Each structure stands twice: as C-alpha cells, then as structure tokens.
Structure 1
Amino acid sequence: MAIDFTIPEEAKKVRERVRQWVQDECIPAEKRLEAGEDYKTVLNELRGKARKQGLWLPFIPEEHGGMGLGPLANALVQMELGQSHLGALSMNSQGPDDATMLTLLAHGTDYQKEKFLKPILNGEKRVCYSMTEKAAGADATGMQTRAEKDGNSHYVLNGEKWYSSAASVADIAVVMAKTNPEAPRHEQFSTFIVELPDPGYNIVRDIPTMAVHGPLYEIMGGGHAEVKIENLRVPQENLLGGEGKGFAMGQHRLAYGRLRHGMHNVAMAQRALDLATERVTSRSTFGKGLEDRQGVQFMLAECASQLYIARLMLMHIAYKAENGMDLRQENGIAKVFLANMVHKVVDTAIQLHGALGYSLDTPLAAWYTHIRSQRLVDGPDEVHKWITGKNVIRAFKKDGTTAAAAGGDLL
C-alpha cells in the first residue's frame, strides 16, 4: 500500500485562488499603503472584494459565514496568506482573532455567540486575548490576576497583563484570571469576555519591541499592550466555558496559534527565498553572475531544504488533525523548527541582498526584527523542547524505543 501525498482537488483549487488573491490584490495593496493611502479605506476595500469572492474566514464552518475548510485545506491557504501582511487581514483570518473565534465557537453560549462572536466573524470588531503576565512568563499557571464573585451576577477582576497582542485595536478582550486558588493547578483559572473600552481594563502602553515600528504597525494590530486591570466588573453571563476551564481552553487556543504562526512562517520564508533568488539572478560581481557562484547556490539549497522539511511537517500535522489524531508532540517539534527556519531563510536572504537587505528598502529587515518573536510567542523554544524531550524519555520507557516520539509512527 502506497503512502498517498495527493492533495484533494478542491483543496488545490482553493489554494490556487488564495495564491492568486495574495499576488493580485494583497501585495499591490501593501504598495498603496506605502504610498500613503488610508489604511482603513484600503483594508475595507480589500475585505469587500474578498467577501464577494467567497474568500472569508477559511477555518470557520459555512453555517457561521466561513469557507468551512478542514485542517489540510486551511494549512494550504495560510501558507499563501502569510506572503503578505495584509493576507490574513483581508480574509478576517488574522491572529490573535482567529484562535479566539474558534474558542468562542466551541465554548461560547448562544448569547455569547450572538453578542460577541458574530460581529468578530463579520469583521466589524476585533478581539484580543489577555493571558500572559510578567510574574508568570511562560508558565500560565503562575498568573496572579484574580476574579472574585460579587453576588450571583458579577465577577470583579484585578491584576496586570503583559503582551496582550492587538489590545490597542480591540473591541473585545478575552481575559484569563484565577477564580479558585484551592483547586488543582490546572483548574484554578477561568476566562471572561470583556467589552472595550472599559475603565477597569486600562491599556498602560504598547510595549516597544525590537520589531521595526512603521506608521501602520499599531493600527494593524501589531502592538503588544501592557494592561492594568482594576476593579473590572464582568457579568456572570460573560464567563466563557465555565469556572475552572480557562487553562484547558487557553492551551487549545494556543495550539492553533502555533500552527498558524508556522504556516505564515513558511509563506514568509518562501517570499524571502523568492526575493533572494530574484536578486542573485540579476546581479554580477567581479565579472561573474552571482547565480553561478557555488557558495550562493549552497545558501539557496539550504533554504530550499528547510522549506521542504517545514512543509512536510505541516502537512503531516494537518493529516493528523483531519483524522482526529493526537498531534501534540509533532506540534511542539514543528513550532520550534518553523520559528528557527524562517529566521534562517530571512537572514540568508538579507545576506544575499548585501547592504540593500540591511536597509528598509526591501521588506527583509522589518521581517527579520519581527520574526525574532517567533521563538518566544506561544511558548518559548526551551519549553517546547523540554516537553518534547520528556516525551522522548516516556516513549522509550514504554516501548523500549524513542521512535514514537520522533516521527517513527508517522501515520
């Protein structure tokens, strides 16, 4: 029996449509923004075109206004959208909204879906997710923000949040807080939906980062806010998924976010390799074309190899998701690999551009400062490696071999 790598015809067609969309609409729209056109005007026009073409919410079921794509087709689509910073936004598929949409869809009450999810799906509102805290870092169970019952109708939240991505452009915040300190460690936390603005949810600042901050950075949702939560009153009906379910919902949400980051990293790396190859095929040094130099060819070969591995990883994880299989080990391995892969490819593209690559005349330098975060967000590399290593030991003790934790049981 052969292993079948055939992509279903429908998935191929939607990938081609989205690839064309990004090239024909999103990348030219980037240039309009660079020329000074109004961001909201350009994005609204882009989104209007996308919806008319049926390119909206790839991963959301059709009955909720989406395209109803499964994990494989969505992976193919996201690997195209990431080639433009307007790609995901154009189809209302951007983070952090996307994973929160899925959380609300899976765990929201009918009231919550109608009041909060519907306008997000329609592209009328944006949402942020406030989990991370300075005190806790990568260990979400160390968070200190508290939510205490005030009678039977409200909770009152107090604490601080850190790196709440897109909070400065959000209309809704999903906030995790500790409701029961006496419960088992992973059952102490609950999640609340907060309408913004609210005086109890105060954005102190967008944290300056090493990423290149252009004039559109914050308005597009690229900022990461420091938030002070003080006597924030949240109605009982805005409790999402029930008390004590916050941590489990958060981990499920982050699992999708890690995959989406990986898919977009593949797209960005592909565009960087295209730019690098375009550069070397049009340049000569010391009387010889750059493309004819073996050292340059080796650099391109390494990038191509990394991209090939990355695509196979994502396709295998998509296969497991399609078939309802446990993909946690593969997801952790891929998260680390893909974050480092995109850094390597963009760095190589900068090197092959020479001084031009170090300037802001190409997108490469801005990408480079932005993608350094990939080794930190949704769990730093070291945490994922730690868990992966524990699973290697666990597999050996169970089976007498580490194969099951190292791709030895692919299907």
Structure 2
Amino acid sequence: MTIDFEIPAEAKAMRERVRQWVQDECIPAEKRLLDGEDYSKVLAELRQKARAQGLWCPFIPKEYGGMGLGPLANALVQMELGQSHLGALSMNTQGPDDATMLTLLEHGTPLQKEKFLKPLLNGEKRICYSMTEKAAGADATGMQTRADKVGNEKYLLNGEKWFSSAATAADIALVMAKTDPDAPRHRQFSTFLVELPNPGYRIKRNIPTMAIEGPLTHIMGGGHAEIEIKDLEVPAENLLGGEGNGFSMGQHRLAYGRLRHGMHNVAMAQRALDMATKHVTNRSTFGKKLDERQAVQFMLAECASQLYIARLMLLHIAYKAERKMDIRQENGIAKVFLANMVHKVVDTAIQLHGALGYSQDTPLAGWYTRIRSQRLVDGPDEVHRWTTGRNVIKAFKATGTTAGACGGDLL
C-alpha cells in the first residue's frame, strides 16, 4: 500500500490557470507600472479580467462571490500568486484584507457583513488590522488601548497602535482594545470595526523601514503606520464577535496570515531561483559558463532543497486543514522555516547575479529588504520556536516520545 500524494485534478487545473494568469497578466502589468502607467487603471483592468475569468477571492465561499476553494487548492493558488506583487491584488486575496474577510465571514453579524464585508469582497474597499502596540510588541496581551462602554450605544477608544500594515490604504480598520482589564488575560480584549477616515483614528506617520520603497508602496498597502487613537467613538453594533473574544479571533486570523505569507514566500523564492538559474546559464566568467561550476550548482541545489521542504510543509498543513485537524504546531514550525527559506533563496539569487543582483535593475534587492520582516511579523521567530519547544516537551511528558510534536504522525 502506498501513500497517495495525488492532487485532485480540479485543484491541479486551478493551479495551472493561476500560474498562467500570473505569467501572462500580472508580471507584464508590473512592467506597465514601471513604465509610468497609472496604478489605479492598471489594477482595475487586471481585476476586471480576473473576475471575468472567475479568478476572484479564492478562499471565499461561492455564495459570497468567491471561488470556494478549500485549503489545498487555495495553497496551490497562493504559491503561484506570490511570484508577482500584483498577483494577490489582482484576485482580491491580498493581506491584510484576506484574513480579516475570513474573520468577518465567521463572526460578523448580518449588518456587519452587509456594511463592511460586502465592499471588501467586491474589491471596493480595503481594511487594516490594528492590534500591535509599542509597549506590547510580540505579547499581544500586553496591549493598553482601552475601549470603555458608554451606555448601550457606543464605545470610546483611547490608546495607540504601531505597525498597522496598509492603514494608509484602508477604508476600514479592525481595532483591538481592552474592554475588561479584570477578566482572564486572554478574555480582556475585543475588536471593533472603524470606518475611515475618522478624527479619532489619526495616522501619525508611515514608519520608515529598511525596505526599499517606490512611489506606489503605500498606495498598494505596503506601509506600516503609527496610529493615535483618541476619543474614538465606535457604535456598539460595530463590536465584532462579542466582548472578550478579540484575542482568540485575532489568533485565528493571524494563523491564516502566517500561512499566506509562507505560500507567497514559496512563490517569490521560486521566481528568484528561476531568475538566478537563467542568469548563470547565460553568463560566462574566466572562459567558462557559470552553470558548469560545481560551486554554483551546489548553491542552486541548496535552494531547490529548501523549496522542496517548504512545499511539503504547506501541502501537509493544507491536508490537515482540509480534515479540520489541529495545525497549530505545524503552523508555527512552518512560519519560521518559510521566513528563513525565502531569505536564503533570494540572498543566493542576489549572490549569483553579482553586482546586478545588488542593484535595483532586478526586483531582487527590493524583495530582500522586504522579506526581512517575515521573521518579525505575525510573531517573531523566537516566540514561535519557544512555543514549538514547549510542545516538544509536552509531547515527551505525555507519551514518552517527542515524535507527535515533530511530524511523527503525518497523516
């Protein structure tokens, strides 16, 4: 008896469609932007074509206008879309919007779905997620932004937020705040839907980072904002998921975001490796082709190994997700590995391109400065490793072996 790694035919076909879409439409559209065409016009044309072809909101149920893909098919699609920075945007599956759409789908009231979710699904609006704070950092339970209920009609929010990605491109913010400081630690927080712009939600600045930025960076949602929240009035009907459920909803939301980052990292790494291999097969030094040199072949081999492991990780997680199995341990392990994998592959691609890779004449330098954040966002490597290590110890104490915490029971 053999283990069946066969991907369903319909999922394969969808992967091929999206792969072709990225190559035929998204990557050429990148050049149009570089040549000075208007971003709004280019994206609107892409989205119109995508919707006409049924390529829209991959993971959203069909009754809400999406493609209704399950975890496996969506993973295959996302592992193609990440090859272009227009890929996810073209199909309205970009972060941070995507994970918040899922949260609204699961926890939103009928009114919230009509007012907030519907325009997100139609691609008419963008949403950001304001959770992180300077004082709390990786420990979300340390956040200090308060939400005080005023009568039965509204809440009054005060505090600050830090690194609210895509806030300057957003029409809506999902804000987490403390509603009950006396409740158990993970039940102190709630989340609120805030329409933007709003005088109580002030974007102080887009925080400068090491990432290379272009004129479209913040328009496309690539910025990270510092927010002042002062006497922000939010109608009680905009409370999402009930009081005290903000932390658990946030963790569920971040779990998908971590996987989506990883899926896009695979796509970016694949494109970087393709670029590097194309370069070394066309380049000669000291009278010999670069692709004939063993050192170069070893570098390519290491990248291929990393990509192979990354794909298997994601497909296994998708397999478990399809069956509603617990994926928390695998998710944490994969998040760390995939963030480091893409850094390794893009760095190798830069090295193989030489000075050209270090320049901004290829996208590699821009990718390199952006992907460093992958080891910090949605929980830094160290926090995930800490959790993974604790689970290894728990498994051993419970069963006498650590196998259950490190893939020893794959299926």
TM-score, normalised with respect to structure 1: 1.00
Runs ≥4 in structure 1, deviation > 2 angstroms?
Answer: none
Give ranges in structure 2 of 5+ residues lacking alignment: none
Offset from partner CA, 1:306-330 (integer Å, 9 cap, x none): 0000000000000000001000000
RMSD (Å), alpha carbons: 0.3
Matched, 1:9 2:18: no
Q: How many residues align?
A: 411
The Cα shift of 1:3 comes to: 1.0
Offset from partner CA, 1:171-201 (integer Å, 9 cap, x none): 0000000000000000000000000000000
CA distance in 2, matches of 1:369, 1:62: 37
The Cα shift of 1:351 comes to: 0.2
CA distance in 2, matches of 1:59, 1:395: 33
Task: Find the counterpart in structure 1 of residue 94 from structure 2.
Answer: 94
Offset from partner CA, 1:104-139 (integer Å, 9 cap, x none): 000000000000000000000000000000000000
Which secondary structure does the structure 1 equivalent of 2:190 belong to? strand
Which secondary structure does the structure 1 equivalent of 2:157 belong to? strand
Task: Find the counterpart in structure 1 of residue 389 from structure 2.
Answer: 389
The Cα shift of 1:29 comes to: 0.2
Task: Find the counterpart in structure 2 of residue 18 from structure 1.
Answer: 18
Task: Find the counterpart in structure 1 of residue 230 from structure 2.
Answer: 230
The Cα shift of 1:150 comes to: 0.7
Q: Output aligned runs, 1:139-178, within 5 Å.
A: 139-178=139-178
Task: Find the counterpart in structure 2 of residue 403 from structure 1.
Answer: 403
The Cα shift of 1:74 comes to: 0.1
Task: Find the counterpart in structure 1 of residue 347 from structure 2.
Answer: 347
Offset from partner CA, 1:211-244 (integer Å, 9 cap, x none): 0011111110000000000000000000000000
The Cα shift of 1:34 comes to: 0.2
Which secondary structure does the structure 1 equivalent of 2:5 belong to? coil
Task: Find the counterpart in structure 2 of residue 34 from structure 1.
Answer: 34
Task: Find the counterpart in structure 1 of residue 59 from structure 2.
Answer: 59
CA distance in 1, matches of 2:337, 2:266: 11
Which secondary structure does the structure 2 equivalent of 1:339 belong to? helix
Give, as a single letter, the amino acid of the residue that structure 1 aligns with 2:354. G
Which secondary structure does the structure 2 equivalent of 1:158 belong to? strand
Task: Find the counterpart in structure 2 of residue 273 from structure 1.
Answer: 273
The Cα shift of 1:343 comes to: 0.1
Q: Output aligned runs, 1:202-281, within 5 Å.
A: 202-281=202-281
Give ranges in structure 1 of 5+ residues lacking alignment: none
Which secondary structure does the structure 2 equivalent of 1:281 belong to? helix
CA distance in 2, matches of 1:141, 1:4: 42
Task: Find the counterpart in structure 2 of residue 323 from structure 1.
Answer: 323
CA distance in 1, matches of 2:169, 2:310: 32
Matched, 1:73 2:55: no
Give, as a single letter, the amino acid of the residue that structure 2 aligns with 1:76. L
The Cα shift of 1:2 comes to: 1.7
Give, as a single letter, the amino acid of the residue that structure 2 aligns with 1:121. L
Give, as a single letter, the amino acid of the residue that structure 2 aligns with 1:71. P
Task: Find the counterpart in structure 2 of residue 312 from structure 1.
Answer: 312
CA distance in 2, matches of 1:301, 1:236: 56
